[in-house]
Amino acid sequence: MSSIMYTPFHLRNIQIPNRLVASAMFEYGADNGKITEKIKERYLALADGGAGLIITGMHAVSVSGSVAPVMVNTEYDNYVADMSGIADIIHERNGKIIVQLQHCGGKTSTAEGYDKFAVCEKQVAENCIYHEATKDELHKVAADFATSALRCKEAGVDGIQIHGAHGYLINSFLSPSTNYRTDEYGGSIENRARILFEVYDAIRQAVGNEFIIGVKFPFSDLNENSIKPEESLFVCKELEKRGIDFIEVSSGMVMDNSSASFTPVVHNDRQAPFLKYASQLACQIAVPVISVCGYRTPEVVEKALSETKISAVSFGRPLVREPNLPNRWKKDRSPAACVSCNRCCNSFGDRIISCQAAKVQK
């Protein structure tokens, strides 16, 4: 039986061999910001597992903009060579790879040497207050994104993704729940989205018109004072006008098991909680839309792809548990083994993201 999951789609002029995407998952595996063998092995497993497109865990656009030393940063000397080795692994297996770029804003490490600014003044720990980002600091962020994207292009990857979700710097500007600024970066959605537009424009100018640029976008903050649907549509339509190549639709600003989480508990009878947002957006723009979160059975994936205008679905936690899930579903259509415990999101001790539930069951 043929399946829409295994048909190709295009991002700009690049054909993606199937519609099953490995979404970004923070690797927890860098050695003081450097790519390690364990990170390379993770992407080899994903490539061998059949994902048509792989999006890396977030890579910091500057050492000072990272969340911890276990986060890959794009500034170290051998980054281009190391990332090129991973790109080669993916391409040899007919896959495509995109690097997710990030500045963590108010979530950067509180240790000495890391940026201490956020969208607005914010206490992040006892006796540690991050100041409201200055315009000069924001201009540097945009320039750092552009420099990092150019390094990714030099490494031979297929594109980059701007991380605009999950409470990090760009999301904190977009959301009225965190953005109380009174300058040109606060207030209206046009102003709150200004930093995202500046980051996109700087990247596009640096890498040219043929290199893929996507964004992970928070359609809802899943809190009381959330970005509104009409605001999300405005931002995405403006990005389309500027030449964005794809939008991966996520939601939520925190990472826990609460109702305000972007890593919700998912049961087989309550899958794809953010599909409604992706479907709404896909009806409004021509840019490929990818729907992330909560896909656990091939039947739900196929229904989403056949009954909406989204181009692909992406998986995070299920591919931590089963990197071979895309290939497995060609023969064995039983649900993904992931139980949504979210313990993979706390894999510091393993030096690489890993399924903790699988270890318990052994």
Mean pLDDT of 336-355: 81
DSSP string, 29-86: --BTTB--HHHHHHHHHHHHHT-SEEEPSPEESSGGG-SSTTS-BTTSTTHHHHHHHH
Which residues, at least 6 apart from 201, have a Cβ–Cβ distance to it below 8 Å? 142, 242
At 253 the pLDDT is 85
**Does the pLDDT of residue 65 top 60, yes or no?**
yes
Residue-wise over 275-305: b if at least 16 C-beta within 10 A, else e?
bbbbbbbbeebebbbbbbbbbbbbebbbebb
The closest alpha carbon to 149, from 68, 233, 206, belongs to: 206
**Does the pLDDT of residue 299 top 50, yes or no?**
yes
pLDDT > 70: percent of the chain: 96
In whole angstroms, give the CA distance from residue 127 to residue 105: 18
**What's the whole-model pTM score?**
0.95
Which band of pLDDT confidence, cut at 50, 70 and 90, is reported for residue 1? Answer: very low
**Does the pLDDT of residue 270 top 90, yes or no?**
no
The closest alpha carbon to 155, from 205, 201, 102, 211, belongs to: 211
Are the beta carbons of 30 and 36 closer than 8 angstroms?
yes
Domains of the chain: residue spans and CATH: 4-361 (3.20.20.70)
At 179 the pLDDT is 97
CA-to-CA separations, 257 to 28, 277, 336, 346, in angstroms, rounded:
20, 20, 19, 13
Which band of pLDDT confidence, cut at 50, 70 and 90, is reported for residue 135? Answer: very high
Per residue in 209-225, pLDDT (tens digit) is: 999 999 999 998 888 88
The closest alpha carbon to 53, from 3, 14, 13, 84, belongs to: 14
At 255 the pLDDT is 54
pLDDT > 90: percent of the chain: 81
Q: Running DSSP on this structure, what letter comes out for residue 349?
A: G
At 339 the pLDDT is 85
Q: Which residue has the tokens 């990090």?
A: 168
